[in-house]
Amino acid sequence: MDQNLFFNRTSRSTRYTPGVTEWRLNLELAKGEQGDERTLVTRIARTISADIARGRLRPGARLPGTRSLAQALGVGRGTVVTAYDELAAEGWVRGEPARGTFVAELPVVARPRRFAPAAGQRASVPTRAGFELGPLPPGLADVPGDDELLDELDLPYNLSGGLPDTALAPASALARAYRRAITRRGAALLDYGDGRGHPRLRAALAAMLATSRGLATDADDVLITRGSQMALWLIALALSRSGDARVAVERLGYRPAWQAMRACGATLQPVAVDDEGLDVDALAASIEQDLSSRSSSSTGAPPRAIYVTPHHQYPTTVTLSAPRRLRLLELARRRRVAIIEDDYDNEFHYEGRPVLPLASADRSGVVVYVGTLSKVVAPGLRIGYVVAPRPLLERLARLRRVIDRQGDLATEAAVAELIEEGELQRHVWRMRRAYHARRDALAAALTRELGGTLEFTVPRGGMSMWARVDPRVDVERWAARAREREVLVRPGRMYMFQPATCPHLRLGFARLPEPALLEGVRRLAAARPRRARG
C-alpha cells in the first residue's frame, strides 16, 4: 500500500474561495505497480471509479468541475476532461450541459482498489454492554469542578490550548436556521425522536465525511452524541467488561478521555509518544508479551482497544506517520483490537496535504471514529458523532438511551440546514484563515519575547503549540506567576499519564484575536521566573 495513502492530494492551498457551498472532494490518485506506465488520465479515472464502486461517491453526486479538480491535482485541465470522458464511456458518470458531471445512477460493477468498504458492511469490533452500580469509579478525583472551569474561561488571556473562539461562531446563521426549523417542524422536533440523532444531520455529516475525509459511510453509520466526550464514554462502556478490560492510550494525552474510560471500568495502559506520534512498535511488543504470558498468568491479556489522536496528537500536535498508520491498522486487524480514533480538530490544517483519518483505510472494521463540531462551530452546541460498525452503533444507541434518551433534535436540524446550505463549509474557511493568522502571530511573538526560553516547531495544523521550556526554568512556578497576571497556560505535567516532570507548555492560539495573543505573550514573558543555575 502506498505510504502516501493518507494524504489529501487536492489541498495545495488554503485560500478562501468566495461562494464555496460544497465540501472539497479529497481524491488520492491510484498508484500503479512498479514498471506500470499508466497515464495520469487512467489513474484519475481509476481512482474515481473505485470510489464509486465502494460506495464513497453515490449515484447522483456531483463531481468537481474539471478546472477545479485539475488545479487541486496539479495537472492540466485537458487531463481531467479526458478522464471524465473515459468514465462516461464506461458508464460511471454522466454529463449534464451547464450543470456538471454526476455519478451515474447505475454504475457498472468493477473491481476497485482495496479501500475501506462501506462502514455498515464491516465486521463488528468486539463489543459488550453493561454497567454495575457501586462506589464512585476510580480515577475521577482529578475531574475539575464547574467553578474552576468557569474561572479559567473568564481569564482575559487564556492560552491554555484547544479552545475555539466562540466570538467567530455563526450565531446569526444558526439562529435563523433554528427559527426556520422550529417554525416548519416544531411539533416533531420538540417531541421524542430517534436516539441516534436527527436523520438530516446524520445524512449531512455522512456526506461531509465521505467527501472531505474519505469515509465510505451513510446516515445509518452515524450516531450523534452530546459532544465527543459522551461518545468516548459510550464507547468505553460498550467495550469494557467488569474490571477486566484494558485500553492502550498515549502516554501524553487527553485526560478527560482517560477519565471516561476509567469510570467505565477500563484499566489503562500508557504507550510512548515521540515526534512520529504513537510508538506502534512499542505497543506491538507489549501486546505480544501479554499474549506470551497469558498461558501462565490470568492477567496476560492484550488491550481491547487503543485510544489514539493520529491527526494532531493531543497535546504535542504531531501527526502519526504514514508507516505507523499502516502498522497500527494491521496490528489491530491481526489481534482484533478496536482503534478509537479521536479526530477532534480535523478541519484545521494550514499547510501541506491534510491527512485522511485511519477510518478511511479501515478494511477490517476495527476503527471507531469519533468527531465533533465543538471546535469548528461552538462547544456549547454539544454535537459530537461516532462512525462505527452498525452492531456497535446499535449498542451505543441503547446505552445512550439510558443516560440521555436523545439529543436536541431542533438544534441538530438547524445545524443540518447550515451544512446543506453550505454555510458551515464557508464558516470552516473563515475559521481556518483566522486561526492560521493567529498561529503565525503567536509563533512570532514567542520567538521575539521568549526565544531563549522556549523551543517549538510551528504546527502544520491544530489549535495549539507544544513548546519545550528551558530545563532551568520552573514550569509550574511560571504557570502560577502567569495566572497572577491573568494569563492561563498549561504545564506539560497536566498531560502526563503518570506524575512526572515535563518541561513543556501547551499554548493555544485559536481563542484570542491577535492583539490579545501579543499581550498575553508579553505578560507571560514578564512572569517568567529566573533560571536556576546549573
Quick one: 498 and 382 in the same domain? no
Cell of 41: 488520465
Quick one: 380 and 483 in the same domain? no
Quick one: 75 and 154 in the same domain? no
Cell of 258: 482517560
Residue 516: its pLDDT value, please? 96
E strand or H helix at 73: helix 66-73
Residue 34: its pLDDT value, please? 47
Quick one: 466 and 346 in the same domain? no
CB 225 within 8 A of CB 439: no
* Non-local CB neighbours of 240 within 8 Å, separated by 6+ positions: 128, 261, 264, 265, 266, 304
pLDDT along the chain (534 residues), means of 10: 39 41 75 57 90 89 90 88 90 90 71 51 50 55 68 86 91 95 91 93 96 94 96 91 78 94 90 96 92 60 92 96 96 94 94 90 95 93 95 94 91 95 94 96 97 94 96 95 95 91 94 96 95 65
Quick one: 282 and 322 in the same domain? yes
Quick one: 316 and 383 in the same domain? yes
User: Does any domain span residue 333?
Assistant: yes
Q: Residue 522's domain is classified under what CATH number?
A: 3.90.1150.10
User: Does any domain span residue 183?
Assistant: no
Cell of 44: 484519475
CB-side neighbour CA atoms (13 Å) of 453: 22
Burial letters for 284-293: b for 16+ Cβ neighbours within 10 Å, e otherwise?
Answer: bebbeebeee
Quick one: 260 and 395 in the same domain? yes
As for how many domains the chain has, the answer is 3
User: Does any domain span residue 499?
Assistant: yes
- What angle in degrees, to the nearest 10, is found between the helix axes of 171-189 and 423-450? 140
Of 337, 372, 405, the one marking the end of a domain is 405
- Report the sign of the C-alpha dihedral through residues 188, 190, 192, 195, in that order: positive
Q: Residue 55's domain is classified under what CATH number?
A: 1.10.10.10
pTM of the shown model:
0.80
Of 405, 438, 463, the one marking the end of a domain is 405
Quick one: 268 and 401 in the same domain? yes
Residue 6: its pLDDT value, please? 41
- Sheet strands side by side (includes 338-342): 222-225, 384-387, 367-372, 338-342, 305-308, 246-250, 267-271
Q: What domain range includes position 521? A: 146-163+426-527
User: Does any domain span residue 299?
Assistant: yes
Cell of 315: 497535546
CB 504 within 8 A of CB 469: yes
Of 405, 436, 462, the one marking the end of a domain is 405
Residue 102: its pLDDT value, please? 93
By DSSP bridging, strand 246-250 and strand 267-271 are parallel
User: Does any domain span residue 216?
Assistant: no
Give the other-Cβ count within 10 Å of 135's Cβ.
5
Quick one: 380 and 520 in the same domain? no
Quick one: 318 and 446 in the same domain? no
Cell of 9: 492530494
User: Does any domain span residue 489?
Assistant: yes
User: Does any domain span residue 131?
Assistant: no
User: Does any domain span residue 534?
Assistant: no
Q: Residue 257's domain is classified under what CATH number?
A: 3.40.640.10
Quick one: 400 and 440 in the same domain? no
Quick one: 392 and 452 in the same domain? no
